[in-house]
């Protein structure tokens, strides 16, 4: 069906996010599932099947994928820094591409949201400043309070940017269509952005201009690996996830998004409101971000079919990302298209485990049978 068919909502029509042509405007959001191979954090055959099942999404954004062991904050999350991990991801991109899908890797450094049991040599996690996040992480024994971090020294920052570059090179080798930087939910990039977690007095702290410096340097560095038309970033202006707070999020994110637009990257992926909670959690003008950024705007958080269709029709976003609904509905695109009933996600099987609650959710055809 063509764009011009008025009976087909624009949500289900093709679009281009930068240099990435997608067949519909439904995006699978990044979802941490803690099912990488124990011992080497490489993707495995079960992960291949999970992503293959969901390849009808216009674009898949992978689960957060740590750029180094230091960047890991949760047990059994996949990495993008060893040959085994790259090979595991290559099997996933091949499977998604064989189904006609597109997939980008979400590159992740958790910063202070980690635990000594996950860090190289049991070291303290790193952060912009030595401030402990009031949050928990997930380790082999279950949920645990995060470990106190130490502040990165000025001369360590280039090496962290280098880890993002290496991970981008590895993602390219693994066949990804692009990358998304995880700049949301209180992880390292977000920690630099916010005046509550960043109390530095050097070039990376203090003013908004200084606090966005790290994010923009990472964007610039990875844009030399993938073309700018294949690079995006996820942000969550007001979400309190992992103790992320700032005294003036509107000013901070308007400045950041202005600079991201000048950098000509493909997309911003915006968590509107509090993740897993209210879309109007705090007052924030997302329309202003939308107007400021000249690339694609992917909206996320709490979208229903109706709200997604309306948001695309009224021009408030270019694509809509769904998270939990994709966990439970491998064929979410088809279900939304038909307005068919949706499977309910089982929260108890979100993190860790096996195929149960991961690759065993039925598609419509199986349910009918």
Instruction: Give per-residue pLDDT as tens, 283-332.
Output: 999 999 999 999 999 999 999 999 999 999 999 999 999 999 999 999 99
Query: Is residue 91 situated within a structural domain?
Result: yes
Structure tokens, 185:
């939910």
Query: Is residue 7 situated within a structural domain?
Result: no
| Ordered alpha helix ranges (H), the chain | 45-53, 83-98, 157-173, 188-193, 208-211, 213-222, 249-262, 286-292, 305-313, 324-328, 332-338, 364-368
Answer whether residue 334 shows pLDDT above 70. Answer: yes
* Average pLDDT rounded to a whole number, residues 65-73: 98
* Average pLDDT rounded to a whole number, residues 47-64: 98
Find the CATH number of the domain harbouring 316: 3.20.20.70
- Tens of pLDDT, residues 1-31: 345 577 899 999 999 999 999 999 999 999 9
Answer whether residue 226 shows pLDDT above 90. Answer: yes
pLDDT value of position 275: 85
Query: Is residue 4 situated within a structural domain?
Result: no
Catalytic residue, chosen from 50, 51, 138, 187, is: 187
Query: Is residue 285 situated within a structural domain?
Result: yes
pLDDT value of position 4: 57
Query: Is residue 348 situated within a structural domain?
Result: yes
- Tens of pLDDT, residues 161-217: 999 999 999 999 999 999 999 999 999 999 999 999 999 999 999 999 999 999 999
* Backbone φ and ψ of 14, nearest 5°: -65, 160
Is 187 marked active-site? yes
- Tens of pLDDT, residues 233-267: 999 999 999 999 999 999 999 999 999 999 999 99
Query: Is residue 269 situated within a structural domain?
Result: yes
Number of structural domains in the chain: 1
* Average pLDDT rounded to a whole number, residues 36-46: 98
Higher pLDDT, 43 or 275: 43
- Assign 229 a pLDDT band (cuts: 50, 70, 90): very high
Query: Is residue 8 situated within a structural domain?
Result: no
pLDDT value of position 1: 39
Mean per-residue pLDDT over the chain, rounded: 96
Angle made by CA atoms 113, 117, 120, in degrees to the nearest 5: 90
Please give the residue range of the domain that contains residue 125. 14-368
How many C-beta neighbours within 10 Å does residue 172 have?
A: 18
Answer whether residue 71 shows pLDDT above 60. Answer: yes
Query: Is residue 3 situated within a structural domain?
Result: no
């Amino acid at each position: 069906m063509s764009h011009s068919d008025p009976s087909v909502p624009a949500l289900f029509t093709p679009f281009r996010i930068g240099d990435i042509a997608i067949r519909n405007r439904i995006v699978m959001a990044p979802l941490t599932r803690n099912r990488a191979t124990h011992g080497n954090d490489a993707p495995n055959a079960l992960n291949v099947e999970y992503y293959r099942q969901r390849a009808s999404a216009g674009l898949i954004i992978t689960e957060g994928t740590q750029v180094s062991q230091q960047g890991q904050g949760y047990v059994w999350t996949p990495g993008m820094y060893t040959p085994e991990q790259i090979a595991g991801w290559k099997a996933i991109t091949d499977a998604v591409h064989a189904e006609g899908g597109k997939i980008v890797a979400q590159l992740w450094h958790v910063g202070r949201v980690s635990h000594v049991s996950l860090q190289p040599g049991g070291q303290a996690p790193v952060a912009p400043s030595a401030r402990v996040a009031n949050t928990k992480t997930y380790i082999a024994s279950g949920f645990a309070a995060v470990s106190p971090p130490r502040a990165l020294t000025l001369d360590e920052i280039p090496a962290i940017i280098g880890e993002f570059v290496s991970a981008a090179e590895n993602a390219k080798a693994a066949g990804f269509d692009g990358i998304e930087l995880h700049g949301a939910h209180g992880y390292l990039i977000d920690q630099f952005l916010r005046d509550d977690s960043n109390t530095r007095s050097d070039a990376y702290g203090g003013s908004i201009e200084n606090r966005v410096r790290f994010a923009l340097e990472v964007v610039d560095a990875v844009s030399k690996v993938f073309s700018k038309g294949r690079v995006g970033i996820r942000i969550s202006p007001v979400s309190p996830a992992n103790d992320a707070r700032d005294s003036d999020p509107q000013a901070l994110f308007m400045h950041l998004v202005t600079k991201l637009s000048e950098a000509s990257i493909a997309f911003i992926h915006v968590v509107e409101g509090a993740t897993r909670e209210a879309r109007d959690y705090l007052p924030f003008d997302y329309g202003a971000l939308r107007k400021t950024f000249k690339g694609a705007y992917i909206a996320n958080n709490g979208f229903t079919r109706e709200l997604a269709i309306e948001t695309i029709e009224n021009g408030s976003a270019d694509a809509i990302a769904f998270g939990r609904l994709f966990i439970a509905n491998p064929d979410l695109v088809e279900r939304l298209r038909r307005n068919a009933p949706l499977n309910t996600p089982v929260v108890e099987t979100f993190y860790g485990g096996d195929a149960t609650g991961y690759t065993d959710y039925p598609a419509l055809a199986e349910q009918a049978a």
